[in-house]
Amino acid sequence: MRTFVLTMALWALLCVPSTLFSQKTSIENIEPRVEALLAKMTLDEKIGQLNQVVGDISTGTAVSKDDMLSQVRAGKVGSVLSHTNFDNKIKIQQTAVKESRLGIPVIFGFDVIHGYKTIFPIPLAQAASWNPSIAERIERVAAAEAAADGQNWTFAPMVDVGRDPRWGRVMEGAGEDQYLGSRIAEARVRGFQGNDLSENFSIAACTKHFAGYGFGEGGRDYNTVDMSEQRLRDIVLPPFKAAADAGSATFMNAFNTLNGTPASMDKHLITDILRGEWAWKGMIVSDWNSFGETIVHGAATDDTDAAAKCLTAGSDMDMVGGVYVKGLKKALDEGRVTQKQVDEAVRRVLRLKFSLGLFDDPFRYLHPQRRKETLEKAEYRILARETAAESMVLLKNDGGLLPLSAASPFKKVAIIGPYANSIGNKDYMSFWTLGLGARQYDSTKVVTPAQALKPALEAMGFEVTVTEVCINVTCDEVAYSAALKAAQNADIVICCVGERGFDCGESRSVANLELPRGQETLLRIVSRGNKPTVMVVFNSRPLVFPWANENIPAILCAWQPGFEAGNALADVLTGRVNPSGKLPMTFPRATGQIPLYYNHFNTGRPQQTFGTLWTSGYLDLASTPAYAFGHGLSYTTFSYGDVKLNKSTLKMNEILEVSVDVSNTGKVAGEEVVQLYVRDLAADVARPVKELKGFEKIRLAAGESKTVTFRINPAVDLSYWNQDLKFKADPGKFNVFVGGSSDKVKEASFEIKI
Ligand code: BGC
């Protein structure tokens, strides 16, 4: 059963502003303090504030490391990235505050991607809950732990829309849809930042990667991005806008070129759109040496050129590249940048430090006692377990094989596979939480399926064996025969397959989405035992497993659930938690179908039936997905009544109400994500076949019904960026769809008249 009471108490605690360590820093008194400080700064000190150096771990390409303390003492460091050692952080801050000329504190940044010490499900999994409050609660805890350990600033949320599962970083985002992505983005920003950045449990968010990074050609990380301005504005930018509106204190540039311009020096993106159209006031940091990489892209000649181009585009802080240190002075001397531009960037950095309360008490986040009291509380594990279970997606459950219960006609359960008990190999988490050398995460804290599911099933009267095979290696004959033997000796098999933690995240793109290292063959071999099989896949992205889709009766997508992997899995497989996750990304049938996403255009020749020539499809495979966006089953069933509209024609300034009765027609309580989609049938340009415009997660007892009502405001919800780059809706006919998955909907029509 869910332990809402405890986690809500924890939630309340984290929301309470603390006055223990400092007075509040009000925005009004920041500006004069920024100006007073700026007036005292030398050019070197200003450049120092724009300079971020790497701490004790590296998350990117090699960079030169000077003696950090002497740099800090000389006022040449504004920020330190990825520093884990707590005592050293104190030493660095002491040096900055007590030994540098102006005593400006440094700001510590860290990639807090799915938890800081307590590891939660990956962001893509959080999005699969379709419950933004989950993301917010996770980030509140992550922020509390990070802040207590001296971090002031996270490089999250990543809000890049991801339509290509080959790209390793889809695990860091909210999937393929900009509407769901926007709701998750704003929730994560709220979670990190709380009500006030200067609170002890808040850290600054950094919305990344601005912009287009998810659209790299071929799914290769860092690769070229080329897209129309309409696609950029309709699909890519909405989650960034949502994060900006939610108050994200900082943004990060992207590595890629966008329509030929490296994003770090893209004035159109940064100055025209972000700071201009959106009136966003925060600070923007480069990605890891992305100022320096403008030279590698072939868009800048040297450090001076790169510094001039990035600063004048509107980028503020240089992450680890040292480009401003090496090139900004010369750029200023040559008149390539103005003093005013340098000062403006420095102001943004100082404002951030003031907002975090770092000037009021530079050691407020470096308090050993608070650190001890805050890190890894038992309650956090409860939240990790709840959220992991709520993220899991039941892809298939033929014949109601799941959940396993005392009434199941089986006695002996075999848990088999590389992820049955992968404790030593740091799985069930992403690269971000374990791949980084000196990072302090202790992956032995993860609860594996063998550790939790086995005793849970035994307590229900099952006999359980665990057979670990193919751990960290490609399956071989020995593994296959051990697995087959285990399956033959059981009545039901739970086969745990998936991806290694190290294979997920940045620079982990793949050309093949098939289950790696012979694991689909493992499933085939196991099936020779003729026992019903449950496949549990621990994945960081949509994977391809065509044989399993055809032949395995029950498939659960567990993602990378974090520390509570085994407990959450036990909760779902035993029915203590009824699965309610829905896919935030389409699962293709084959890698060759990529990109495959639900909100595509119709084309002039849509394919209705596989094999029809002269239509948009493949000769050798249907163009439909294995599992559609929004798909996810429950242990109960839901039925949808007809879609009712409060009017069938309306004016642009009127609100349309869309209602549907949803009933739980099964035998157990469950949660359903009711999804609302719209299609503009004839706009001034072609529009997608469906676009998500709303969703609501509801809980229904067995036999219970509820009416769910969505409100559509045409000027906002039906507008798109047209050929003239105007954001507007067109009058005409629309279809509206409501259902529990993008491919299972009821529909109605309406018309907008001028
Ligand atoms: C990544 C960023 C990350 C940064 C700092 C880069 O390689 O692209 O997302 O925040 O490293 O670790």
Is the separation of the CB atoms in 90 and 116 below 8 Å?
no
Beta-carbon contacts of residue 226 (< 8 Å; ≥ 6 apart): 217, 258, 259, 260
pLDDT, residue 27, reads 64
Catalytic entry in 111, 177, 287, 503: 287
Atom of ligand 1 nearest to the CA of 109: 5
Distances (CA, A) of 114 to 124, 178, 215: 10, 20, 22
- Please name the residue whose Cα sits nearest to atom 2 of ligand 1: 287
CA distance 294 to 262: 6
* Residue 329 to residue 326: CA distance in whole angstroms: 8
pLDDT tens digits, one per residue of 244-297 = 999 999 999 999 999 999 999 999 999 999 999 999 999 999 999 999 999 999
Using the mean position of ligand 1's atoms as its centre, give its distance from the Cα of residue 280 in Å.
22
The closest residue, in CA terms, to atom 12 on ligand 1 is 59
Which residues have CB under 8 Å from 36's CB, separation 6+?
none
CA distances from 115 to 144, 200, 339, 713 (A): 10, 17, 40, 36
In 3D, which of 541, 576, 289, 531 has the Cα closest to residue 416?
531
At 423 the pLDDT is 80
Contacts by 256-260, CB closer than 8 A, 24 or more apart: 256/209, 256/212, 256/213, 256/215, 256/216, 256/222, 256/223, 256/224, 256/225, 257/224, 257/225, 257/297, 257/299, 258/211, 258/212, 258/225, 258/226, 258/227, 258/232, 259/225, 259/226, 259/227, 260/226
Mutate to test the pocket of ligand 1, among 116, 203, 288, 504 (most ligand atoms within 8 A of CB): 288
Q: What pLDDT does 71 receive?
A: 95
Separation of CA 442 and ligand 1 centre (Å):
21
Q: How many CB atoms lie within 10 A of CB 557?
A: 27
Position 4, amino acid: F
Q: What is the 3-state secondary structure (H, E, C) of 584-599?
A: CCCECCCHHHCCCCCC
Substitution site in 287, 290, 320, 436 for ligand 1 pocket (most atoms within 8 Å of beta carbon): 287
Cα–Cα dist 153/132, whole Å: 21
Count of CB atoms within 10 A of residue 717's CB? 18
DSSP secondary structure letters along 457-515: HHHTT-EEEEE--STTS---HHHHHHHHHHHHT-SEEEEEEE--GGGSSTT---S--BP
> 478-517: string of b/e by CB count within 10 Å (b at 16+)?
ebbebbbebbeebbbbbbbbbbbbbbbbbebbbeebbbbb
Angle (deg, nearest 10), helices 4-15 and 132-148: 60
CA of 92 to the centre of ligand 1 (A): 22
Helix, strand, coil share (%) of the chain residues, nearest 5: 35, 20, 45
The protein residue with its alpha carbon nearest to ligand 1, atom 10, reads 155
State in Å: Cα 11 to ligand 1 middle.
Answer: 29
As a whole number of angstroms, the distance between CA 332 and CA 337 comes to 5
How far apart CA 721 and CA 687 sit, in angstroms, is: 10
Mutate to test the pocket of ligand 1, among 112, 151, 155 (most ligand atoms within 8 A of CB): 155
Helix axes 178-193, 237-245, angle to 10 degrees: 30
- Contact indicator for 452, 569 with CB cutoff of 8 Å: yes
State residue 41's pLDDT score.
98
Return the pLDDT at 410. Answer: 94
Distance between CA atoms of residues 275 and 598, nearest Å: 32
Query: What is the rounded CA–CA span in Å between residue 417 and residue 469?
Result: 5
The residue whose C-alpha atom lies closest to atom 8 belonging to ligand 1 is 287
The separation between the first and the last C-alpha atoms of the chain, rounded to the nearest angstrom, is: 52
Per-position DSSP letters for 55-77, written without gaps between them:
-SS-SSS------HHHHHHTT--
Atom of ligand 1 nearest to the CA of 206: 10
Q: Which atom of ligand 1 is nearest to the CA of 255?
A: 8
Q: Where are the alpha helices (DSSP H) in 246-320?
A: 267, 293-297, 303-313
What is the distance in A from the centroid of ligand 1 to the CA of 432? Answer: 10
- For residue 19, the model assigns a pLDDT of 32
Closest CA to 152 of 189, 88, 92, 201: 201
**DSSP assignment letter at 248:** -
Atom 11 in ligand 1: residue holding the nearest Cα: 288
Nearest atom within ligand 1 for CA of residue 507: 7
User: Token pair 């000027």 is at which residue?
Assistant: 715
- The reported pLDDT for the residue numbered 559 is 98
Which protein residue has the closest C-alpha to ligand 1 atom 4? 288
| Residues 6+ away with beta carbon under 8 Å from 376 | 117, 118, 145
Q: Give Cβ neighbours of residue 236 (< 8 Å, ≥ 6 apart).
A: 160, 161, 178, 211, 212, 214, 215, 227
How is residue 303 written in tokens? Answer: 């450090």
What values do phi and psi take at 549, rounded to 5? -60, -35
Ligand 1 centre to CA of 506 (Å) is 8
Cα distance between residue 191 and residue 199, in whole Å: 12
Nearest CA to ligand 1 atom 6: 288
Q: What is the pLDDT of residues 489-516, one digit of tens each?
A: 999 999 999 999 889 999 999 999 999 9
Q: Which helix (H) or strand (E) holds 752?
A: strand 744-753
What's the pLDDT score for residue 433? Answer: 80
**Ranges of H-type helices in 114-157:** 123-128, 132-148
Which residues approach ligand 1 with their CB closer than 6 A?
59-60, 81-82, 111, 155, 208, 287-288, 506
- Ligand 1 centroid from CA 436, angstroms: 12
Query: Which among 233, 191, 187 is positioned nearest to 212, based on CA atoms?
Result: 233
Write out residues in the chain with pLDDT < 70, as ranges: 1-28, 59, 63-65, 425, 434-441, 443
Which atom number of ligand 1 is nearest to the Cα of residue 172?
9
User: If you average pLDDT over every residue of the chain, what do you get?
Assistant: 94
The rounded Å distance from CA 581 to ligand 1 centre is 28
User: Is 680 among the residues known to form the active site?
Assistant: no
The ligand 1 atom at the shortest distance from the C-alpha of residue 158 is 9
* DSSP-H helix ranges across 246-367: 267, 293-297, 303-313, 323-333, 339-355
